[in-house]
Amino acid sequence: MNDDLKLLEATAHEIFASYQDRPGLWEELEEAGLTRVGIPEELGGSGGDLEQAAVILRAAGYHAAEIPLAETLWLAGPLLASVGLHVPAGPLTAALPLDGRTTLAAEGDGWILDGVVRRVPWARGAAAVAVVAGGRIALIDPSADGVRLTEHRNLAGEPRDDLAFDRVTVSADRVRELPAGQPSALSRAALGRSVQMSGAARRAVEHSLRYAGERKQFGRAIGKFQAVQQYLATMASETAILDLGTRSAVTLTHTGSADAALAIAADRVNVCRAAGVVTDLAHQVHGAIGTTHEHDLRRSTLRLWSWRDEYGDENHWSDVLALLVAGRDPWHLITDGAPVETTARKGKRS
């Protein structure tokens, strides 16, 4: 990580830490320009790139920030900017229909949006909603005629609302075709959740290390017991691998690599798997105290459990990964190099 990214990371952590459980975080981030990093200035953003946005999003996951940052900074804002639409001010969200039953049909001089999108993050407080349907994206006013919202929450208590669209009229200048040759909106959304999870997993490990050093049993800290040390080592290694895979996927997406979609799918499979290991062991270390409302561990683990099921779980992304690698040389896929012709492969004994 270069010096600019380190400075950005330190700034983000300072802001998030100072606003935990207090109102005003979103306004502070907006004033600092951190809710629009990675979006061109001429389209309503703060400039910068995807890796800078990932630094901010990872810090938000670490601090369990209760704001629609991923939805604005990582998903809706960049999707709108990618098609040349100006990104509106305020918190945003994106509606990604997973059942294919939401339609955007041309009618007269505009478009008509119909359908239902389930579990849209932070929809109730969004200034605008970016709806993806039929290879196009539409910028929707959530207060428009024909839009109906039903409130729900995920396990961590974050808003996950259903949006119903009943012949919602959308002007032609608010609808664009999504560009080809890029990771899908769903892939980008899943990667954003993985970035957040890398921050949350790191925080869960830190909580566990601290507690294991403070909690005493039989006259000594529980962190001195071999079984607990094994738990902590496993958590730390899983988090390191999780973080490395996510950073690699971000870098490949940022550089426009042809393997970006593959990296996102592979990373998502591992992140969802590792999140289960980290959360289980964190609660093993903490015992009953870790499940209480008063302990901060739940802020990380409840989000890890919730986020691993959003935008496709590990089973979904395992299927995607299988389709992406079908017919490809597995050796080249794993090593990014040409396979070596060995005597064993030729049927000879060494």
pLDDT digits (tens, 9 = 90+) for 41-60: 999 999 999 999 999 999 99
Nearest of 26, 95, 50, 36 to residue 264 by alpha carbon: 50
CATH of 185-335, one of 1.20.1050.10, 3.10.450.50, 1.20.140.10, 3.30.70.20: 1.20.140.10
In the chain, the amino acid numbered 257 is S
Backbone angles phi, psi at 133, to 5 degrees: -155, 130
Mean pLDDT of the chain: 93
What does the DSSP assignment read for 120-167?
EETGGG-SEEEEEETTEEEEE-TTSTTEEEE--B-TTS-BEEEEEEEE
Helices within the chain (DSSP H only): 3-18, 25-31, 50-62, 69, 77-82, 185-214, 226-254, 260-286, 297-307, 314-325, 330-335
How is residue 69 written in tokens?
């940052």
Tell whether the model's pLDDT for residue 347 goes beyond 70. Answer: no
Tell whether the model's pLDDT for residue 294 goes beyond 90. Answer: no
Tell whether the model's pLDDT for residue 262 goes beyond 60. Answer: yes
Helix (H) or strand (E) holding 336: none
Q: Indicate where the chain has its CATH 1.20.140.10 domain(s).
A: 185-335
Helix (H) or strand (E) holding 216: strand 216-217
> What angle do the packed helices 226-254 and 185-214 form, to 10 degrees?
150
Please give the pLDDT value at position 339: 43
Interval 249-276 mean pLDDT: 96
Tell whether the model's pLDDT for residue 121 goes beyond 80. Answer: yes
Reported confidence tier of residue 341, pLDDT bands at 50, 70, 90 = very low
Please give the pLDDT value at position 144: 96
Backbone angles phi, psi at 136, to 5 degrees: -125, 165
How is residue 168 written in tokens?
């919602």
What is the per-residue pLDDT across 164-209, written as a single tens digit (0 to 9) for each? 999 999 999 999 999 888 889 999 999 999 999 999 999 999 999 9
Backbone angles phi, psi at 325, to 5 degrees: -95, -5
3-state secondary structure of 345: coil
98 to 115, 169, 179, 186, 259: CA distances (angstroms): 11, 22, 19, 9, 23
Tokens 């042809």 correspond to: 258
Tell whether the model's pLDDT for residue 343 goes beyond 60. Answer: no
> At the fourth CATH level, which superfamily is domain 3-177?
Butyryl-CoA Dehydrogenase, subunit A, domain 2 (2.40.110.10)
User: How many CB atoms within 10 Å of residue 13?
Assistant: 18
How is residue 48 written in tokens?
């910068």
Strands 110-121 and 128-133: unpaired
54 to 12, 19, 217, 222: CA distances (angstroms): 11, 20, 40, 35
List of residues 6+ apart from 182 with CB closer than 8 A: 82, 256, 260
The reply to whether the predicted model has a pTM over 0.85 is yes
Interval 134-160 mean pLDDT: 96
How is residue 193 written in tokens?
């959740």
Q: Indicate where the chain has its CATH 2.40.110.10 domain(s).
A: 3-177
Please give the pLDDT value at position 335: 75
Interval 102-122 mean pLDDT: 96
